[in-house]
Copies of this chain bind each other. A is one copy, B any other.
Amino acid sequence: MSDVPDQPDQSDPSLRLLWRHRAGVREEPKTKRGPKQKVSVDEIVDAAIDLADAEGLAAVTMRAIAQRFGLGAMTLYSYVPNRDALLMLMADQVTGRAELPELPEDPRKRLELVANLTHDELRAHPWLLEVQDVRPWLGPNMSDRYEWQLQAVEGLGLSDLEMDQTVAVLIGFAGNIARSELMKRRAEQVTGMTESEWWEANYDTLSEVMAGAHYPLANRVGTAAGEAYQAASDPARELDYGLARIIDGVLAHVGRRSTGAADELS
């Protein structure tokens, strides 16, 4: 009824939850009545991370986590507003586990480090690939990570915008490799065969079904891949190859600029 600044707090409540440990979060002046909470948000998030690591993100159900603490499922909702928020907290918390090594002098090594760190992390916690596409949440550990990533591309001669975009390309590429590794592992798990076993088991069907279709390049390339690795793909080598090309491109770009050529981006 009044025009008092009664703004309904448009701000995202998840932010305070994400930054709960860092200085600056003012404790809300809550009365301390009521039972003490039996566990902490961190314990819950850690348990959820462990569960996701061990059995995949699908196994991270509210009921399963609660059970780990001997709690009722609904009890979790006094710690965390909902499952999506929990996933967000998991993502930030697991990001905080990796220590960020000092950056080497050599520009190529710096960029490789950024990509490899992301890749290793996603291999250890593949469920991050499924979580990430909620939002690039601004948690404290994600922010630390981003700052570190920017340090890796600082001083190369890139514009501010290009620094951000370069980081995005690198970690995006690392994510793609990790994703293809995950797919491969899952396919083996689901079918119960290795990749080469699958090809063997389906060779007859494939050639029957593809009779009349002509894939000269795909056949040649597929054969080459099958001989080089003994599978259709080898993510580790894909990582090396693609990363080298991307870094080549970035370094060529800044090199070209520093020798006085035109640049097309602000």
Q: What is the interface of chain A, defined by CB distance below 8 A to chain B? A: 10-12, 15-16, 18-19, 22-26, 129, 133-136, 138, 140, 143-144, 146-147, 150-151, 154, 159-166, 168-169, 172-173, 175-176, 179-180, 182-183, 186-187, 191, 193, 198, 201-202, 204-206, 208-213, 215-218, 220-221, 223-225, 228, 233, 237-238, 240-242, 244-250, 252-253, 264-266
Inter-subunit contact B250/A24 (CB<8 Å): no
Inter-subunit contact A244/B238 (CB<8 Å): no
Residue of B with least CB distance to A187: B135
Residue contacts A-B, CB under 8 angstroms, 23 given: A10-B202, A12-B198, A15-B202, A15-B209, A19-B209, A24-B213, A143-B210, A143-B213, A150-B221, A161-B237, A165-B241, A168-B180, A168-B238, A169-B176, A169-B241, A169-B242, A172-B176, A176-B176, A228-B266, A244-B264, A245-B246, A248-B248, A249-B252
Complex CA distance for A72 and B175, rounded to whole angstroms:
40
Residue of B with least CB distance to A240: B265
> How many copies of the chain does the oligomer comprise?
2
Of B151, B165, B179, the residue contacting A133 (CB under 8 A) is B179
Of B179, B205, B218, B253, the residue contacting A245 (CB under 8 A) is B253
Residues of B within 8 A of A250 (CB): 245, 249
Complex CA distance for A266 and B71, rounded to whole angstroms:
56
Residue of B with least CB distance to A241: B165
Residues of B within 8 A of A224 (CB): 159-161
Residue of B with least CB distance to A10: B201
Inter-subunit contact B135/A218 (CB<8 Å): no
Residues of B within 8 A of A22 (CB): 209-210, 212-213
Inter-subunit contact A15/B221 (CB<8 Å): no
Complex CA distance for A250 and B220, rounded to whole angstroms:
21
Complex CA distance for A225 and B237, rounded to whole angstroms:
34
Complex CA distance for A244 and B166, rounded to whole angstroms:
11
Complex CA distance for A24 and B241, rounded to whole angstroms:
37
Complex CA distance for A3 and B175, rounded to whole angstroms:
48
Complex CA distance for A164 and B227, rounded to whole angstroms:
14
State the 10 A-B residue pairs at the shortest beta-carbon distance, nearest first: A249-B249, A24-B211, A160-B224, A245-B249, A248-B249, A172-B176, A150-B217, A10-B201, A23-B212, A19-B209
* Given A161-B228, A209-B16, A217-B154, residue A246 in contact with residue B24 (CB < 8 A): no
Residues of B within 8 A of A246 (CB): 169, 245-246, 249
